[in-house]
Structure 1
């Protein structure tokens, strides 16, 4: 067993060259392999997605791509790939691929959330929880963590404001592997450094993410046969509440249906949720309330299925939160203890009843879907769970039925269209 544990801390020999060049038509892009000298040892990535996969990180150093009149991100725009020893305030060991890609997806989400202090916690390249708040970073982090404290265990925390003492104390009270911020208050950094294996990144560009919005990067997908798919990266068209489109559609009989417009609070929560959606694996839905995720459903094969599973997930996480608040035990641990303890069994029953009463915290939430609803079944499930407003791309042949589901609800549920899909395969 000790040998198995060792593989997670052992550097894999890196055979990749120091330079990478890509030529696309007349444009030549040059990249340099990123290495770090830690404890006197110069190495690149510790390993790739798994400990037996050699990997390398490359940063653009020369050349800039323009296609179709659009200029892509390139040298000088780096965030994660630009991190040197100066930005690794504490590394514990050389970074691995998954650490960096989680932070990178945090950057991807936060580029659309620059208006307020925001925090996102990621695991396996998906957000566990995210929140923003005018009340400050500590409030945002607490809301993001509370959304799913189970999944947040061992995750990566990425924030868009200088990390203060209050936030550092909250982070230090739980287990995370990576923290990235544009800067740190000196006392906050001292608190975080008390955990020697915590990777701490200072990425100054996190405070200027609004400069990158609208400018794509070259998104490269590798096929199993060695082929490549190149695409423009996703560009979020919903950057303000006014960018949403009214949800309306006309059926074959010529009947037009129009959904209720969201309230100001619903619209702001939908705006936040659609920003987070940019970093979630499709097929997905996200429930949000008061500027924080309540439940995030990722990577399912059918839309009604992802709604069903996310509702179940929300109830489980909500009950777990109540269990931990009351007993400092997870829901699973409480259920095990309840088998032999009548008082604990009574408490567990109360937690179950409170969870059912609020539908796992889903009552009063809004929901975004990264793709349109092909049938109204998924919308009906959302409404039954307590959703008051929905944003979705629109464009289904059954849009009239989907809008009708919202209009038939009591009280009437709002719906808007985004006019774009947000799949992330």
Structure 2
């Protein structure tokens, strides 16, 4: 492989996104680089008064099939793939009259954007680029001699490289550019295959590929000895990946993970149904509440577990206002994420330089189905995200006593929160706020008891006369395998229970609920979260 500088004497430019095209081409032309181009790109260069040769003229073969075939030709790929250090390659070029191409500038048909706009099947198919990826791969493979660019963001670094090397590129620059090109074609193919699997309703295609674009390198991962980076998947779903950070330090790996968990949870509560707040610590909610105002919702969520809320993530379902910002600013908070923020609220946070403030412009739709994946040794698991939501009409009352309307409202609230708590999950709720959360225990009865103990701690911290689990409703993300967990909830003062049902001992659990005077409903839906 060549270790030398390679002068750029001949360039092929064929781009969908013409941002910066003319400026780049003008610098190249001023350096004496011969410009080759196709279709609309060539026309844009001519309109700018730049000298350019059509690829069809070079190949002596016209563009055809509505532009589907224009660069798929030996003259193009020979010029990209020929090794200049091999006599037989140079001889073949001479025999067939093929000139080498030193620089390829290609960005692809906007397939991802076309899909994102909801285009029909035929339109999406027409926006699958064939010639572009083929040229990128040819040039990237032959990066010992060819420089390849795939993105407008690469233009300025190329011009700086040419300036530094008197019109040539270095091996390191070409290698890095080749990596970018191969990554781009891989991501493009992944987007096409993912779209087609969805279009054909193929849940388990023979091969799966996932791709993302670097959003930012991270200082480290979950722990300082782990390398990490944050990638965007190109979707427009509002959240931490699409948010604008208005202030604060750079987000960490754990910040991003926890902020995503918080925002997905609070998005379960539609803004037009009233203000809601979720406080997350280590990907688990430590307090969630509705309120007459955002400030009231925040205070109720905070009161569920004040100890855990310190240094947590706060997610809001409405525009952050000054009163809520002032309340949040009373303690150390890592991140606040909301659809928007008032100027007054932003001014309050401005004095908290370590607090990260993110605005998203909207809430993610909790009903949307998307793929979630997790790595395991030798492979990865893929599933649709848990977009299951409670259907009040599908609830089955299984006890002698039916829940009251007030209990039904708190049961629905607790069930919604439990969906976002690590299994085994138990959530006590009263008056539209969590009052005890038990997460991630190996035993469901332990989660029930831990949540009740946290409520006792809450009562002590707030100076309450009674423990807030008395008169509460409790949700369990999966069935009670034995009556012990349910009886522990009853002992804590719960009056109603919501759970999926489906245990071999459902009859025993129902009998225990009746004996304790509890109302209980089955959802028929489980919400494990590991």
Tell me if 1:111 matches 2:263: no
- Alpha carbons 2:305, 2:454 under 8 Å: kept: no
How far apart, in 1, do the equivalents of 2:268 and 2:195 lie? 32
**What is residue 311 of structure 1 aligned with on the other side?**
452
**Contact 1:108–1:278 (CA under 8 A) maintained in structure 2:** no
SS at match of 1:313: helix
Partner residue in 1 for 2:349: 192
The 3-state SS of whatever aligns with 1:197 is coil
For residue 382 of structure 2, what is the aligned residue in structure 1? 230
**TM norm structure 1:** 0.74
Partner of 1:31: 212
1:196-232 CA distance string (max 9 Å, x none): 11000011122xx4xx232222111111x24201111
Counterpart secondary structure, 1:205: coil
Counterpart in the other structure of 1:348 = none
The aligned counterpart of 1:127 is 285
Alignment of 1:228-267 (within 5 A): 228-238=380-390, 240-247=391-398, 258-267=399-408
1:389 and 2:496 correspond = yes
Gaps (5+ residues) in structure 2? Answer: 1-175, 198-208
Give the conservation status (yes or no) of the 8 Å contact 1:107–1:158: yes
For the 8 Å contact 1:113–1:272, the answer to whether it is kept is: no
Change (3 A) 1:294 1:371: same
Alignment-derived partner of residue 314 in structure 2:
157
- The residue that corresponds to 1:408 in the other structure is 515
Aligned residue in 1 for 2:440: 299
Consecutive unaligned residues of structure 1, counting only runs of 5 or more, are 1-14, 36-43, 62-74, 248-257, 323-350
Structure 1 residue aligned with 2:475: 368
Root-mean-square deviation over aligned CA pairs: 2.1
Cα deviation for residue 30 of structure 1 reads 4.4
Aligned residues between the structures: 333
Larger radius of gyration: 2
Alignment of 1:315-394 (within 5 A): 315-322=456-463, 354=465, 358=466, 360-394=467-501
Worse-matched range after superposition: 98-107 or 309-318: 309-318
- 1:82 matched to 2:242? The reply is yes
- Rounded Cα–Cα distance in structure 1 between residues aligned with 2:229 and 2:348: 31
CA distance in 1: counterparts of 2:432 and 2:314, whole angstroms = 17
Choose between structure 1 and 2 for higher RCO, CA contacts under 8 A separated by at least 6 residues: 1
Contact 2:238/2:361 (8 A) holds in 1? no
Partners of 1:132 and 1:265 in 2: CA distance:
14
Q: Please report how far the alpha carbon of residue 320 of structure 1 lies from its aligned counterpart in structure 2 after TM superposition.
A: 2.6
Aligned equivalent of 1:96, options 229, 252, 274 = 252
1:24 Cα offset (Å) = 5.2
Quick one: structure 1 residues 169 and 421, their matched pair in 2 at CA, closer, same or farther if it must change by over 3 Å?
same
Is the Cα–Cα contact under 8 Å of residues 362 and 386 in structure 1 kept in the other structure?
A: yes
Query: What CA distance in whole angstroms lies between the structure 2 residues aligned with 1:226 and 1:106?
Result: 31
Q: Are 1:149 and 1:321, in contact at CA under 8 Å, matched by a contact in 2?
A: no
Per-residue deviation, 1:78: 4.2
- Once the two structures are TM-superposed, the CA of residue 321 in structure 1 deviates from its matched residue by 3.0
How big is each residue's C-alpha offset from its partner over 1:85-112, in whole Å with a ceiling of 9 and x where there is no partner? xx110022x2111111111111221232
More helix by share: 2
